[in-house]
Structure 1
Amino acid sequence: MFELLFSLASIGIVVWLLMIVLPTWRVTRFIADLKIFPIYLSILYIVGIITVIFMNGIGFMQYFSSATGVIQLLSEPNFALLVWIHLLCFDLFVGHFIYQENLEYRFIPLPLQSIILFLTLMFGPLGLLTYVVLRKARNREGS
């Protein structure tokens, strides 16, 4: 079942490609405004986590308190796939934030936005931090 959830989550790449390659296209804006894909990924994650809890209880949470425990959890394939969906969901949410805020306020040029969205897709926090730093620098210039 977790491989099916993983496969279903893979469609999120379409939104990333639209935001990166066609940021001003009205279809891209429409899809981003709906936030349908972060919601969709959230639903997939919820289905997965409820399945984990139903099958195993909440005892897995005890493993979150140590690096060894987290490694042990991530070595279990179904849990690793679920964590991947978790990451996809949050990265896409952050990507939506960057995309929508920058289209509204134009803190950075669109080609740079595309690079930052790619960084966010591939390296999550690096893309977010890059955007926040550049946005802050731009705000200082405008003051």
Structure 2
Amino acid sequence: MIEALFSIAGIAMLGWLLLILLPKWRFTRFLANTGVFHLYLALLYAVGIITVIAEGGLGFVNDFGSSEGVVRLLSDPDFALLVWLHVLCFDQVIGHYLYRDNMAHRYVPLPIQSVLLFLILMFGPFGFLIYLAIRAFRKSRKPR
């Protein structure tokens, strides 16, 4: 079941491609404003986590408190795929935040925005941190 959810999550890559390659396209802007791709991933995750809870209860939550417990959870292929859906969803949320924020304020040029979106897709928080640093620098240099 979780593997099937993981397989159909790949559709959300279309959202990344549009944000990165066609940021000014009207359809890209529409999709970014609706949040359809991260809502889609969140729905897949919800189906997955509800399935896990329905099948085994909430006992896995006890493993969150130790590194050994987390490793044990991630050694289960279904749980690892479910965690990956979780990561994909949040990376998509952060990517959409960057896209909407930068399209509104233009802290970075569009080619740099595309590079930063790719960094978020591949390295999540690292790409977001770079964007926040650039944005803070640009805001501090802006005349008031």
Corresponding residue for residue 93 of structure 2: 93
Pair 1:112-2:139 in alignment: no
Q: Once superposed, what is the RMSD of the aligned Cα atoms?
A: 0.6
Flag as ranges the 4+ runs of structure 1 deviating above 6 A: none
Q: Please report how far the alpha carbon of residue 141 of structure 1 lies from its aligned counterpart in structure 2 after TM superposition.
A: 1.1
Q: What code does the residue aligned with 2:133 have?
A: V
Q: Please report how far the alpha carbon of residue 48 of structure 1 lies from its aligned counterpart in structure 2 after TM superposition.
A: 0.3
TM-score, normalised with respect to structure 2: 0.98
TM-score, normalised with respect to structure 1: 0.99
Q: 1:4 & 1:76 partners in 2: Cα distance?
A: 16
Percent identity for Structure 1 against Structure 2: 53
Q: Please report how far the alpha carbon of residue 10 of structure 1 lies from its aligned counterpart in structure 2 after TM superposition.
A: 0.8
Corresponding residue for residue 124 of structure 1: 124
Q: 1:3 & 1:58 partners in 2: Cα distance?
A: 20
Return 5+ residue gaps in structure 2 as ranges.
Answer: none
Pair 1:13-2:13 in alignment: yes
Q: 1:18 & 1:86 partners in 2: Cα distance?
A: 21
Q: 1:70 & 1:11 partners in 2: Cα distance?
A: 28
3-state SS of 1:13 partner? helix
Return 5+ residue gaps in structure 1 as ranges.
Answer: none
Count the aligned residue pairs: 143
Alignment of 1:43-62 (within 5 A): 43-62=43-62
Q: What code does the residue aligned with 2:106 have?
A: R
Alignment of 1:76-91 (within 5 A): 76-91=76-91
Q: Kindly provide the CA deviation profile for residues 21-43 of structure 1, in whole angstroms up to 9, marking residues without a partner as x.
A: 11001111011111011111101
Q: 2:110 & 2:137 partners in 1: Cα distance?
A: 16
Q: Kindly provide the CA deviation profile for residues 101-128 of structure 1, in whole angstroms up to 9, marking residues without a partner as x.
A: 1000101111100000000000000011
